[in-house]
Structure 1
């Protein structure tokens, strides 16, 4: 297996790294906070101490970074990509991904966007849902690597297609969680037993698995140990609104949800699981 560079070893990035190492991939890793690489180093990864030139000899460079601008900055620091393929797996805007593809080409590299849906457990088990965008030839070339992380990586179309799909899905996460929270609030306020309500919801066409996945957190107000934080959900929803507006899509109905998520800033909810939206629909947010 060729050498792979992994840039960004947060919750998801670390899990992706563990999966690659478990499957015998030679891995070089970098994070702005080097301490976050320790787990992967103990499993046999090599630390990238200097980004400049770190892509030399690497078949691919996977990035799992906060957003498009950060990804562009970190990839630019690599310099010559030595014909390797840059594979960003984080969420970014459609226009940002297309611009990054041009940047990567200028750095003598190939580009394949590959945002994923799933969290730490799915990454470790190799069951992420992966969408890719770019040249079909590059998709075929990278398939052996991608299949380590996702059983069925999907080619969505040219660059920007996968970014669009990921933004659309993350908007659904925000909207579904919000609407479910509102429903629970009314159920609770009415005195109706929540489980009685769930027994009707589960067999209906309205049911989504996230309802049961997030129910205990919402009822207990325990948003600790998140796989995806409220802050990241807000960031992605704002990015969706920006890109949708550029495409002449009416996003007025989403602005109330953006405003609601803005209320989490400066509170303990921001770093908690995104199901903390349920705390926001209570009508007041305690600062902490």
Structure 2
């Protein structure tokens, strides 16, 4: 099975490495080709267009920023890609309706489409500890392509038809923003009240309120060092904006998610969009 991976960013690059380690024949495409070139030394073939990548593969994996980037790669008039007998696996965070639209266009062209968003960041790819959630219109398709996901995953889940994995991913990413914001507010209060942080964390860790992400982000917040991000703030804002659209569509209350959007927008306006999303601590607890 020949694979292509389109998008060699924070997640795509280590995914490509894991696929090569697993023995797959792989070609890679990135809009900024220089970011993909080092993968040649690991055995990948680097191509200059998305059409080349898909033409030379049986299965094309997309790890792209958003639906616009996916559309540009797949459906640009310059690409003229044939999807006949091709499988497209979309792994980014997009709306369920966007995923269904991609499925319709690809399947109408004779291809197969799966969605497979992941929970985790760059270190989880390297450690093969991602949680991969798959939406496919048949369990047979899930079973056929599960070995690909095993190359970088701790667990792979069949969620249901296309659209359901995309919705599950949004529900989980809402928690990323909510937990980071809630912890930032509590930690900020502890600091402002001059209470011992170690005491606070000791109690928190022993309680039902604890989440492991609190310890993962604690030192970043205390040191206000948000460089070398695993997940930049600007990408979290994009995801939370998608959450807002989906919860509104479902008739759910939106005030919580709107507050998260406001916090992240202020964070990015202050010039922190490229930093780790935990930089929202600076907005919630200014110096």
TM-score class, shorter? over 0.9
Deviations 1:114-143 (A, max 9, x none): 000111122123221000001212111111
Aligned-residue Cα RMSD (Å) equals 1.4
Decide which of 96, 120, 123 is 1:121's aligned counterpart: 123
Query: Residue 29 of structure 2 contacts residue 53 of structure 2 at CA under 8 Å; is this kept in 1?
Result: no
Provide Cα deviations, 1:198-235, integer angstroms capped at 9, x if missing partner: 00000111100001000000000000000100101111
Q: Greater shift after overlay, 161-170 or 65-74?
A: 65-74
Query: After superposition, what is the alpha-carbon deviation per residue over 1:91-116, rounded to whole angstroms, capped at 9, x for unaligned?
Result: 11111111111111123210110000
Partner of 1:234: 237
DSSP 3-state at the match of 1:54: helix
* TM, length-normalised to structure 1: 0.94
Give every structure 1 segment of 4 or more consecutive aligned residues whose post-TM-superposition deviation is greater than 2 Å. Answer: 50-54, 264-268
> How has the CA–CA distance of structure 1 residues 63 and 78 changed in structure 2, closer, same or farther, with 3 Å as cutoff?
farther
Aligned length in residues: 283
Q: What is the aligned partner in structure 1 of residue 98 from structure 2?
A: 96
Asked if 1 retains the 8 angstrom alpha-carbon contact of 2:128 and 2:153, the reply is yes
Q: Output one character per residue of 1:147-182: Cα deviation in whole Å (capped at 9) or x when no partner.
A: 112132100011111001111111000000000000
Q: Which stretches in structure 1 are left out of the alignment for 5+ residues?
A: none
Paired position in structure 2 for 1:248:
251
1:132 match: 134
5 Å-filtered alignment, 1:163-202, equals 163-202=166-205
Alpha-carbon distance, 1:54 to partner: 3.3
In the TM superposition, residue 254 of structure 1 has moved relative to its aligned partner by 2.0
Aligned residue in 1 for 2:283: 280
TM-score normalised by length of structure 2: 0.95
User: Partner of 2:112 in structure 1?
Assistant: 110
SS in 2 for 1:261: helix
Offset of 1:78 from its aligned partner?
A: 5.9
Cα separation, partners in 2 of 1:231 and 1:150, compared to 1, 3 Å: same
1:217 corresponds, among 208, 217, 220, to: 220
Separation in structure 2 between the aligned mates of residue 283 and residue 185 of structure 1, nearest angstrom: 9
* Cα distance in 2 for residues equivalent to 1:241 and 1:80: 34
How far apart, in 2, do the equivalents of 1:196 and 1:263 lie?
Answer: 31
Residues 53 and 80 in structure 1, CA contact (< 8 A), matched pair in contact too = no
